[in-house]
Amino acid sequence: MYRSGAVMAWNVFRFCTALRGLGSIMILLVLGVVGVTYYAVVITTYGPSLASSGGLLDVLIALSVLVLFHCLLVMLLWCYFSVVFTDPGSVPPNWRPELDEERGEADPLTTSEFGASPADSGNPRIRFCRKCNQLKPPRCHHCSVCGRCVLKMDHHCVWVVNCVGALNYKYFLLFLFYTFLETTVVTLSLLPQFIAFFSDGEIPGTPGTLATTFLAFVLNLAFALSVLGFLIMHISLVSGNTTTIEAYEKKTSPKWRYDLGRKRNFEQVFGLDKRYWFIPAYSEEDLRRIPALHGLEYPSKPDLDAQE
Residue 25, beta-bridge partner list? none
CA distances from 277 to 229, 250, 274 (A): 21, 28, 5
Residue 261: other Cβ atoms inside 10 A: 12
Active site residue 143: no
User: DSSP letters of 214-255?
Assistant: HHHHHHHHHHHHHHHHHHHHHHHHHHTT--HHHHHHTTT-S-
Directed axis angle between helix 169-196 and helix 56-85, to 10°? Answer: 150
Strand 134-135 with 128-129, pairing: antiparallel
Distances (CA, A) of 271 to 22, 52, 266: 33, 46, 7
The active-site residue out of 143, 149, 157, 163 is 157
Which residues does residue 157 pair with via DSSP β-bridges, in sequence order? 162
Cβ distance 239 to 266 under 8 Å?
Answer: yes
* Residues annotated as catalytic (active site), given as ranges: 157
